[in-house]
Each structure stands twice: as C-alpha cells, then as structure tokens.
Chains A and B, each alone.
Chain A
Amino acid sequence: MLAEQGPDAHAALVAELTAEWNAEAEPWEAAAHLSLDDVIEPAETRRVVATAIAIAAHGRFGG
C-alpha cells in the first residue's frame, strides 16, 4: 500500500512515527507516569543520590 503511494508518503509516515515515538520516549513522559521519581539536572546528581541514600538507609524492612 505504502509503496504504491511513493517515497514521499513513506518518508512522511516515518517522520510522523518517529516524532510520536520520540515524544513517548521523553523523560517527561516517564516522569508523568511515575516510571521515574524525578528528572534532574546533571549537576544535581551527586546531591540527589546522597539524599536518596540517606532516606532509604533509615531502615531495611523489605525488598
């Protein structure tokens, strides 16, 4: 079907799907659905890691 419509239609579909999939792969989407707790700036990484460890190191009562 797509082949009959020519290379432009193919390219348009590729562009549409790529845009859609890229949008789905954005970190904002993962965070919006809670696959991520947060999205952080690179420079914050050390501080955030240290705080997250401090919170989780309070006790160990389950996996």
Chain B
Amino acid sequence: MTAAEPGAAMTERIAQLRARKERSLEMGGPAGLRKHRESGRLPVRERIDMLVDPGSWFEIGALALPERRTDKHVPGDAVVTGFGLLDGRRVGVIGIDASVLAGTTAPISMRKQGGLIEHAQRHGFPLVLLCDADGGRMPDVSGWRFSGLPLDFTTFLKPPPGAPVVPRVAAVLGPSYGDSALHASTAHFVVMLRGASIALSGPSVVEPAIGEKVTDDELGGPAAATEAGNAHLVVDTEADAMDAVAAFLSYLPPNSTSEPPWGPPLPPSRDPQDLEEIVPLGARSGYDVRDVFACIADEASILPWADGWGGSVLCALARIEGRPVGLVGNQPIVRAGALDPAALAKERAFVDLCDTFGLPLVLFHDVPGLMIGTAAERGGILHGYEALVSRIAEATVPKVGVVLRKPTAAGTSRWAGGPRSPTSCSPGPRPNSASWPRRPASAPSTGASWRRCSPSRARTRMPRWSPS
C-alpha cells in the first residue's frame, strides 16, 4: 500500500500543528526551566516520564492556553494532564507546571484538571496529583472571575455520593499552596519531598494578611505537614516520591468496586517466634510495635502511613500471605500508646481508607487508654473518639483484633468495633513456624522497606491483575 500524497494545503496545516505541538511542550521555556531546576526541582514532563510506564503516556489538553492571554506563552495553561500506565495499571495524572507563572491556577487550567478527574472517576481508575504551585493566578481569578470559575465541587474533590471512589495519591514536590494544597488534601496518600512545603496559603500571603512572619518550612515543611496529617510520608528525592506513589497504589484496587490486587505470598522479615521476646510481660516496659508488624507482614511489604501524625498509634499498608491489609497498632514507645486527638483522627482516616478499598484491618491492641485532661479535651478528644469508634463499627471489611498486652475497655471492645466483630486473640496465636521459614538473625528488625515495592518489583507482584 502506498501512502497518499497530501495536498499542499494539508501539508501546511500539518506543519502548523507540529509547530504548535512543539511549543506546547516548552513549559516555562529556557529561562523558566533554568530557574525551576536551580531551585532543585524537575520539570513537570520529566516527573511524568519518571512516573508512568515508557510509551504509555496519552495527553489531553496540551494545546490549552490561558483564558486571559498576554504576550507570555503559557503552554497548556501551566498544567499537564493525561493518562498512563503505572506498573501496567491505568492512572490519570495531573502535573502542575511550576516553571511557568509559578504553576498558578486559572480558569482553563482548572477546567482541564476537573475534566481529567471526572474521566478517571467515571471510568474507575486512580488519580496521581503532582503538586507544586502557588495558588490562584492574579488577575485571572480575581474579582468577578472568581465566582465564574469552572469548578464543580460535586466531582472535583471526590466522586458524587454513591459513585465508586478511586484512589487519589499526591506527591508534594515544591511549595504547594492554594489549589495544589487542596489537591493534596483530597488524597488518600500524600508523599512529600524534604524540601517541599504545603499549606492553605503561603508565607507571602500570611504575613501581609495576619502579620505572622514565617518561612515555608516552618509553615508547611515536612515536620509541620506530617504533624498536621497533611503529608503521610517524607522522602529525599523525586524518584523516591514516584516509587512511593507506585508502592501505595500497588495495595489498592483501581476503584472501590474492585478487589485489591494480591502479591505472591512471602515469609515475614522477622521470625514470628520473636514475638515471644518483643512483647514484654511487664506492663511498664516499652517496645516498638513496628517490630510486631515485621513478624506478621510479608517481607518488604510494609508501607508506613503517617507515622509523624498522632504517633501513639501506627498505621501501615502491608501484605499477609500476599493479601493486602491495613495494620493498626498502638505504639507503646510514644506516650505509652495513649490515644490523643491526633492519633484518633489518623486512625479514623486510615480505617476509612482500608474499608473504602476492601483491605482487611488487623488491629494490635496495647493501649492504656485515651488521653484525658484539659489539653485532650480542648483538642477534641471526645468527638474524635466517637468518630473513630463509629467508623470502625461501620467498616464491613474483615477486622481482626490481636490483644498484645494491656487492653482497656476502650481499647478492645470499643476500639476494635465490639467484642464479637473482630476475632480477638490474647496473646495472638503464633503462626506455624514450619510454614514461615526462619530468617537469619541479621535480617532487618523492621519491615519498613517500602522502596522495595518500587515499580519494577511491584510489576512482578501483581500476576492477577491485567490492564484493560
């Protein structure tokens, strides 16, 4: 077959299209990209290349331009949206382009993001949000323009009631304020770079508005963001952030109507028999509940979730004999494991995550009780406790309670959803060590090795999943 020779007019049109496509990939141009790189950040298109499987990227809205145009070229209206495969599974991606106009949001970029979100939700696959932007663009969204913004809150933040939920993951890769921060706050998992920050409004707005002089790091850096529960994991490099995104999604189904993907069953990184020594008999001795997790979960399958938020309870995604589960454990070495308002809020969010996506909950009890007194009451311990207990009670996934040492009435019967809902064991029966081969004594003491769930490994771990 010979290709038809296009007419001169068509040749000219195709040349125009190619020129425009080329310009649409420029991001902030040489000057904008240089400045962006000098601040230690990667251009948004390199981030996407690092995230999705090679050759799988399918972009929409690349030719978008600002509604309010100036001489400045703003490719795609400062955001890149599209679809790709992540370890062979479909995802939708929103990447803010902070190399041009600081990645600020304007009407077209907002509509572009909303369209991508709706598409992913309508067809039931996860969203990955690459956050790095400085709020709304002025004057594009000022005055009357603000009320006319094409933002549909019935779909933008989550699917409408009754519609399946899709996993949302955010990577905070630079100063993320305004819309970028709001994106992250909708996510089930937020990983942030050590040098990034996240807050409702940045220091440049905070100081003139309320007179508080504060740095990006003080306001929303990793310490502040994890303590507030705004970020769940902190990493050093953008590559680590993309690995964490892939690792998180590897535990979850594409949406809340599907089953989570299994991995091959693996032995735990610590011999379950070690539990005899890890958990002391004395009520006053401390131990690290992560050592318990390591005896229970498949090796290299533990992804900590928000250890920096309400640290007296620890939550982690993991696999047990290949099946994705949520682990929840009181942490005796943090305030003896007593639950404060932050710990309750964290556990509630984690239980909601697991129940939404069908991950069984395994709850390890060793709790002296709830924090009481003025500080706890002012922090909302009362309604925080009620909210957690209600959410656990509502959860329909399998709930397995293991009493490690000292449960209280609040700790067992209510904390795990009533005495007959979970299968409570005290202390947990040991798995048959014959089927759980012993590991060498030099094995790592904790199983917190999420990096080993990186895309290449995760790909081999999901034999049951086939992309549509």
Contacts and interface: CB of A to CB of B under 8 A. Distances in A.
Contact of B62 (A38, A54, A62): A38
Interface in B1-58: 6, 10, 14, 17-18, 20, 58
A38 B108 CA distance: 14
A28 B63 contact: yes
Interface string A21-63: 0000000100111101111111000000001101111111111
Given A34-B108, A55-B90, A62 B64 contact: no
A52 B63 CA distance: 17
A58 B164 CA distance: 13
Given A38-B61, A38-B63, A57-B468, A62 B121 contact: yes
B83 interface: yes
Interface in B56-75: 58-65, 67
B124 A58 contact: yes
A54 B468 contact: yes
Contact of B60 (A33, A37, A41, A57): A37
A59 B255 contact: yes
Of B18, B58, B159, the most chain A CB neighbours within 10 A belong to: B58
Interface residues of A, number: 24
A11 to B, nearest CB: 24
B115 interface: yes
B431 to A, nearest CB: 37
Chain B interface residue count: which class? 20 to 34
Nearest to A38: B60
A37 to B, nearest CB: 4
B201 to A, nearest CB: 28
Given A34-B111, A38-B63, 4 more contacts: A55-B123, A59-B124, A61-B123, A61-B124
Interface of B: 6, 10, 14, 17-18, 20, 58-65, 67, 83, 90, 108, 111-112, 115, 119, 121-125, 159, 163-164, 254-255, 257, 468
Interface of A: 28, 31-34, 36-42, 51-52, 54-63
